[in-house]
Chains A and B, each alone.
Chain A
């Protein structure tokens, strides 16, 4: 019976059933067959799972992202970053990475960044004679930074499930995100120097920089509101999300005059439906986690792993490999919701800080987003940018290696994650 209940969710997932249905079916079956608890608890846990104020930040940040992805905000950001860093060798590549990180700091969604910044940067990279394979790899992989940088939605979901403070997680994400950005930029510069591509002919112009900065200032206000608001003690993350929504609507509506009220409402509809796709899985997974806990499954799993007496670094390595594998088959939010109830008790027993583990978790899943064969961003780049799959697969390999270096640093040097918490959270 236990074997059947263990195999059932995996089999349904592999057959391609919706994740929410798999979780709901598994929870209901376990409750009926094992726990002998009234079924009304299914309703109570589903309702209770969403009865959380922190989760309101999810629809707010998704709405912000929808608004930011329309109009010319990404082009203005790219122009500004280009004027700032475009002179270094491989300046256009560096601009691509930094623009993506900046876009992530406004939206928290990886695929949106790949699609939006990618649409602007790919033609420019190809026109500047960057190799197609390199450009495809760069654009597909750059979005992974956005799941680490605040206001990351995967981190928000992890915080809710693991009951870890979201401001602490966001503070912890800043240094690793900057480190990953720096690693990617270093690789881009090294590649361009070695292969003699991407030499910049533009002289640095203060007037040009000032002009692009002036055009981008309204767009740059969003990350300032989100981070400044949270760490200045002005807003909670949820309130920061709501204020960012109003700001993100006001900029294209009133300042740039690119969107109308109808488009803003379309963004709201599309954000609400996307949010529902996430929140229904959140609700069902919290319910599933509750049923697992009632049946003491995380405890059994933890005791089994501890009983193997593996050294801590090996155990962490095994967790990393598991997360990388899962991340390349599943979107980060579903993976966080499925695995957090199983892994967190183990991690706490080993004495790892749940905040540090959260960052490690999302960096792994971020790599999974563009990891061959099935990373979600590979298909975003293929569909939205029309890049050939073979070119993307070949182009991605060096970027996977760069991210793995970053992952090793995040995993084995907890200070990288915890420094931001010490600086920003009192």
Chain B
């Protein structure tokens, strides 16, 4: 059984690490995947100085937040579809709601519509309190045909 099939059935911590390791820029940013008791997962961005955009506040770079939301959405599409390949982003709209401080950030993605070729995803990112998102995004992804 392949990695994605194992993950779709729960997976081991090593399987989830292997999923995060698939994306080099995600590894560079410090993105990992945290399985949840309900069978779903959160995507986590560890804090590192190199992720800062504004050193005075300090706050994470808006581009890093965008990349994190996009990656979380891609993982969700990968696991919720039958495809063995990472989906391709078509469009992503990010609303920056609060400055993201120098600490870990979490994201949860929800598929809002799954078509045959295009999947629509909503993503929220937060730091200490899920009720206070730092950013939300809506994106459309193309699922490569096999």
A binds B: no
